[in-house]
């Protein structure tokens, strides 16, 4: 049989020792940190019926979702490409959390139909947290801080926070009364940050005078967060209540984070990441080490769960721990030492092995004790008792 038979598909890879242990170590740090902040862990199944998997916020993931026919029911199923829609289903349909605030965390592998080398593996290890049931800026701040605290716990180098608000572009399009084609063209240009094309687009549309200066400055409203907010106040304030509310919300977040976090904050008011499903604040966190790399991202998506019968305000974030592994420090061996034990049907030996494991030793069964390194720790019978010693 040819060797190529044993290759994994492009974008899908094994995690071997010690990388698998490293991933598990940092996964535990994140999940334990979320738990200490009140986020309960849920574990959705890796596959579901596409009726629920591609409903609501999951609809935009249709092209990324591997699908197959369930042999039990004959219905179409899909392997999740994102866990957020599953968590929304759980909180709306299973927990039925209609009142109060629900905080959930999750971790698991997802699968994407296509390989995008720029975005890492086709099978990310997704770790995230979601907060349901609160619309105020306080929950935006809580989730952003939870993300930053988690990344700081991973000791990632030189973090930079990127902020945005999809409502700014959305409201400006409404104020300008753009038609569907004009909206589509503008969103495509903003997504690609195509500045020359943006100027051509401006020249091709007849904008109301009231928003002319806002559109002229839109592409320039990016950079240091406080500087951008000061600039935006001059060109956007007073145009509408929605824009004023968006700027006020951003200012509250920036002020809070500047007072409590040591992180650079970048703001881009023309950022439309996740425009299909986000409804307000959006954010991402980059590591500025050897190269700029997006580590985690998230935002507000109010109305989640409406198609499951329970509409809730929500905000959250997720990260791909597999892609972040190369940026994380190697994990030191946490065991007290390695001990070799003989194979014997002896309850006393079994008890000695258990006690050593409780103390943090790694105990390995040796089928041939004579082949064990003479300098290694061994369990040996001495004076009728199993004792730990060097040969």
The per-residue pLDDT string of the chain (391 residues; one tens digit each, 9 = 90 and over) reads 455 677 888 888 899 999 999 999 999 999 999 999 999 999 999 999 998 888 766 677 889 999 999 999 999 999 999 999 899 989 988 888 878 999 999 999 999 998 876 666 899 999 999 999 999 999 999 999 999 999 999 998 889 999 999 999 999 999 999 999 999 999 999 999 999 999 999 999 999 999 999 999 999 999 999 999 999 999 999 999 999 999 999 999 999 999 999 999 999 999 998 878 899 999 999 998 767 889 999 999 998 877 777 889 999 999 999 989 989 999 988 888 999 999 999 999 999 999 999 999 999 999 999 899 988 999 999 999 999 987 5
Report helix, strand or coil for 90.
helix
Neighbours of 51 (CB within 10 A): 12
Report helix, strand or coil for 57.
helix
Q: Which of 21, 39, 18, 19 has its CA nearest to residue 30?
A: 39
Res 290: pLDDT = 67
Res 344: pLDDT = 93
Are the beta carbons of 267 and 222 closer than 8 angstroms?
A: yes
Residues sharing a CB contact under 8 Å with residue 363, sequence separation 6 or more, in sequence order: 339, 340, 341, 353, 356, 357, 379
Res 288: pLDDT = 85
């Amino acid at each position: 049989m040819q060797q190529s038979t044993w290759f994994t598909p492009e974008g899908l890879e094994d995690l071997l020792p010690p990388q698998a242990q490293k991933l598990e170590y940092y996964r535990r740090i994140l999940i334990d940190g979320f738990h200490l902040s009140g986020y309960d862990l849920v574990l959705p199944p890796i596959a579901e019926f596409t009726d629920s998997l591609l409903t609501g916020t999951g609809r935009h993931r249709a092209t990324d979702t591997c699908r197959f026919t369930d042999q039990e029911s004959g219905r179409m199923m899909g392997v999740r490409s994102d866990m957020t829609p599953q968590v929304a289903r759980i909180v709306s349909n299973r927990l039925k959390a209609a009142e109060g605030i629900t905080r959930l965390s999750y971790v698991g592998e997802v699968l994407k139909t296509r390989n995008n080398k720029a975005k890492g593996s086709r099978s990310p290890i997704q770790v995230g947290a979601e907060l349901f049931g609160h619309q105020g800026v306080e929950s935006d701040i809580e989730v952003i801080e939870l993300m930053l605290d988690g990344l700081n716990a991973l000791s990632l180098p030189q973090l930079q926070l990127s902020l945005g608000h999809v409502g700014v572009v959305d409201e400006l399009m409404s104020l300008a009364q753009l038609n569907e084609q004009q909206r589509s063209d503008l969103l495509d240009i903003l997504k690609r940050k195509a500045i020359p094309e943006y100027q051509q687009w401006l020249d091709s549309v007849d904008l109301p005078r009231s928003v002319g200066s806002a559109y002229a400055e839109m592409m320039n409203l990016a950079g240091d967060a406080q500087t951008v907010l000061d600039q935006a106040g001059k060109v956007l304030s007073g145009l509408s209540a929605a824009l004023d509310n968006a700027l006020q919300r951003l200012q509250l977040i920036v002020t809070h984070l500047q007072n409590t976090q040591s992180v650079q904050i970048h703001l881009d008011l023309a950022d439309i990441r996740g425009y299909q499903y986000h409804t307000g604040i959006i954010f991402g966190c980059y590591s500025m080490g050897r190269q700029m790399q997006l580590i985690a991202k998230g935002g507000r998506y109010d109305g989640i769960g409406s198609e499951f019968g329970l509409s809730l305000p929500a905000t959250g974030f997720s990260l791909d721990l597999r892609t972040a592994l190369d940026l994380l420090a190697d994990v030191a061996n946490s065991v007290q030492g390695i001990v070799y034990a003989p194979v014997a049907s002896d309850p006393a030996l079994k008890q000695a092995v258990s006690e050593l494991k409780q103390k943090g030793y790694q105990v390995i069964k040796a089928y041939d004790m004579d082949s064990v390194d003479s300098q290694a720790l061994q369990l040996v019978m001495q004076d009728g008792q199993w004792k730990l010693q060097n040969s």
